[in-house]
Amino acid sequence: MAAFFPKFYFDAFSFREAAATSLESALREIPRMATRQTQFLARSLLTPAVGLLFIWMIVPLALTIYFSTLHYSLLDPGSESFVGLENFRYFLTDPAFLASLQNTLVLVGSVLALTILLGIPLALLMDQPVVGRNFVRLMVIAPFFVMPTVSALVWKNLLMHPVSGLFAWLAKLVGLMPVDWFNDVPLFSVILIVAWQWLPFATLILLTALQSLDEEQKEAAEMDGASAISTFIYITLPHLARPITVVILIETIFLLTVFAEIFVTTGGGPGLQTTNIAFLIYSQALIQFDVGSASAGGLVAVVIANIVAFFLVRIVGRNLEA
Amino acid sequence: MARKSTTQRVVISTIGAWFFGFLIFFPILWMVLASFKTELEAFAIPPSFLFFHWTTENYATVQERSDYFHHAMNSIIIAGGSTLIALLIAVPAAWSMAFSPTKRTKDILLWMLSTKMMPPVGVLVPIYLIYKTFGLLDSRIGLVFILCLGNLPIVIWMLFTYFKEIPRDILEAARMDGATIGRELIYVLTPMAIPGLASTMLLNLILAWNEAFWTLNLSTSEAAPLTVFIASYSSPEGLFWAKLSAASTLAIAPILVLGWFSQKQLVRGLTFGAVK
């Protein structure tokens, strides 16, 4: 209705003037009232969500900042004192921080590489005329719905156990030495498990994007004598650029805070070999009860995540306008 | 000639897709098989694939020894409760942003998205201390609350993209016919919004069911959902693979079924509408 009264819709003054004089404008008041009512309603409907999210974002973050400036140990209550940036100095110069930062980067980078490099050919394959494609889709997507604690424990025991695991049996079958996964290559083992969980996500998004690719464009390229490889490089790959970016950014957000998989398999070990930043902060907070240092670490994690988020929000925002 | 190459292509791609699909699905299948073995057979080398003594005793033992249903109930209450509350808050918000957008709507949406980017570990310490102070540790209500807030941005976003697709002309037509906002909501909007609502609900249920950061950190026994219950199998070393598999199968089966139904919406929900 608003479209019929564009001026009244936005301009309060002209409305007041007009409404005072004629019957005609009095009749127009009905839709306008509805509009004002609607706007008020709209705002009050939005408030609870905005308010809750605002509190959820501000209060814990403010507390984290506050705690990060305190010497504060749960083992020694009542001894809290202001120490300025001491916790940050401690956290950032702790050898465990550098090790965990490195582990985090290796974990995120490897899982991204694995899921995208395997996801692209898999999505291309599933985009072909496949008999029973829907069933194949079900099998491929399934790992994504398995809770992290289940997938980690099933992989660790049933598949990766150095003696009785399926991988050990397969290795012996072809005459290789079985790998003691969680002792010899602990971080790689975690990477494999996490990559298995996220491969379906990457594949599904890339497949969705492929299916929206214009068939005619590909056919035209084929008619012009383009080989399958150059069709892929010049048509398919550019089309996939955006979904790949989206996959990278969203996976990064989740992968930066991988926790359960490490918690149930290695507990961060052996040594610090599978401790990522999330796990380091957890162990400082809830195992060593060092609130101050864990809070400083938490802020470092927030900063890292925000750098990624900055780019994601821009990409999604551009999409909102389109 | 052309026809032959097409058939060939179908055969090759079908075999390839089925092979890789099976490979990806295999760990789950292997787990389900192990849940029907005896502990000895689950551990045996060489492994038996189908010709073992099928038994359901693991499923009975899991319930007897560790009160599986208690934890399953916790999962249902926590995932279901947080989803329902999130919908109650999100539906009005998304409705208002989709149908009465203002200049700031886009900023509000992007700001909401950005709250989802905050790593949970960044606020673990204050949340833990607040929960400790108010006695919310290991309580179902505490987990409902935190999972609800954590997923709220995704729920609002998904609903927003669905509501956006409802043609506004229909609402205007209803308004012209003299429908009040209440009637408009019940008779026009709701029937058109139900598919979007349903898939948002499904995706949120899946996310909440599988959430394993807050549940592991904020609950131990009384309120522990299945994620935490399964994690308790990581400590005792020994021949518990069949029972672990049985418990795991029970824990993922319902969500796997729901997930298969909602896989199309999954892409949309998790990419915030950036890929449809």
Same domain, A9 and A112: no
- Domain with residue A283: its CATH number is 1.10.3720.10
Whether pLDDT at A120 is above 90: yes
The answer to whether residue A189 is domain-embedded is: yes
Q: Into how many domains does chain A fold?
A: 2
Please tell me which residue of chain B has the smallest CA distance to A289: B125
Lowest mean pLDDT among A222-226, A234-238, A247-251, A283-287: A222-226
Q: Which of A35, A50, A141, A149 is the best residue to mutate to test the B interface, defined by the most B CB atoms within 10 Å of its own CB?
A: A149
| Contact criterion met (CB < 8 Å) for B273 and A319 | yes
DSSP conformational letter for A73: B
The long-range contacts involving B1-5, CB below 8 angstroms and separated by at least 24 positions, are none
- Name every chain B residue with its beta carbon within 8 A of the beta carbon of A222: none
| Contact criterion met (CB < 8 Å) for B89 and A52 | yes
Same domain, A156 and A303: yes
Same domain, A24 and A171: no
pLDDT tens digits, one per residue of B107-133: 888 888 778 778 888 888 888 989 988
CB B256 within 8 A of CB A146: yes
Give the per-residue pLDDT at A3.
Answer: 36
| Contact criterion met (CB < 8 Å) for A140 and B20 | yes
- Name every chain B residue with its beta carbon within 8 A of the beta carbon of A285: 124-125, 128
Whether pLDDT at B237 is above 70: no
Whether pLDDT at A26 is above 50: no
- Which residue in the set A45, A132, A263 is minimally distant from B93, CB to CB? A45
Sign of dihedral through CA atoms A169, A171, A173, A176?
Answer: negative
Q: Which of B22, B123, B185 is the best residue to mutate to test the A interface, defined by the most A CB atoms within 10 Å of its own CB?
A: B123
Please tell me whether residue A81 adopts helix, strand or coil conformation. Answer: strand
Q: How distant is the Cα of A14 from the closest Cα of chain B, in angstroms?
A: 21
Confidence of residue A80 (pLDDT cuts 50, 70, 90): confident
Same domain, A107 and A224: yes
Q: How distant is the Cα of B173 from the closest Cα of chain A, in angstroms?
A: 8
Full residue range of the structural domain in which residue A166 is found = 86-321
Q: Cα separation of A140 and A202, whole Å?
A: 11
- Best mean pLDDT range from A84-93, A214-223, A224-233, B68-77: B68-77
- Which residue in the set B22, B97, B263 is minimally distant from A46, CB to CB? B97
| Contact criterion met (CB < 8 Å) for B93 and A298 | no
Please tell me which residue of chain A has the smallest CA distance to B248: A150
Give the per-residue pLDDT at A200.
Answer: 92
Same domain, A7 and A99: no
Q: Which residues contact A225 (CB under 8 A, 6 or more apart)?
A: none
Please tell me whether residue A82 adopts helix, strand or coil conformation. Answer: strand
| Contact criterion met (CB < 8 Å) for A145 and B255 | yes
Q: Which residues contact B74 (CB under 8 A, 6 or more apart)?
A: B140, B223, B224, B225, B226
Whether pLDDT at A209 is above 80: yes
Chain mean pLDDT for chain A: 81
The answer to whether residue A173 is domain-embedded is: yes
| Contact criterion met (CB < 8 Å) for A320 and B110 | yes
Q: Cα separation of B156 and B107, whole Å?
A: 14
- Which residue in the set A135, A199, A278 is minimally distant from B121, CB to CB? A278
Same domain, A27 and A158: no
| Contact criterion met (CB < 8 Å) for A126 and B17 | yes
Q: How distant is the Cα of A21 from the closest Cα of chain B, in angstroms?
A: 25
The answer to whether residue A64 is domain-embedded is: no
* Model pTM score: 0.84
Same domain, A92 and A142: yes
Please tell me which residue of chain A has the smallest CA distance to B146: A56
- Name every chain B residue with its beta carbon within 8 A of the beta carbon of A41: 96, 100, 181
Whether pLDDT at B1 is above 60: no
Picking from B55, B116, B45, B78, the residue whose alpha carbon sits closest to that of residue B215 is B78
| Contact criterion met (CB < 8 Å) for B127 and A60 | yes
Please tell me which residue of chain B has the smallest CA distance to A257: B119
CB B156 within 8 A of CB B112: yes
Q: How distant is the Cα of A232 from the closest Cα of chain B, in angstroms?
A: 17
For A188, half-sphere exposure in the C-beta direction (CA atoms, 13 angstrom radius) is: 7
Please tell me whether residue B156 adopts helix, strand or coil conformation. Answer: helix
Give the per-residue pLDDT at B26.
Answer: 94
Confidence of residue A180 (pLDDT cuts 50, 70, 90): confident
Alpha-carbon torsion, ordered B207, A146, B215, A49, to 10 deg: 0
ipTM for this model? 0.85
For residue A82, report the phi and psi dihedrals to the nearest 5 degrees. Answer: -75, 130
Mean pLDDT of A7-24: 40
CB B273 within 8 A of CB A319: yes
Of A57, A77, A102, at which residue does a domain stop?
A57
How many CB pairs below 8 A link A and B? 313
- Best mean pLDDT range from A41-45, A168-172, B87-91: B87-91
Q: What CATH class has B69-270?
A: mainly alpha
Please tell me which residue of chain B has the smallest CA distance to A297: B122
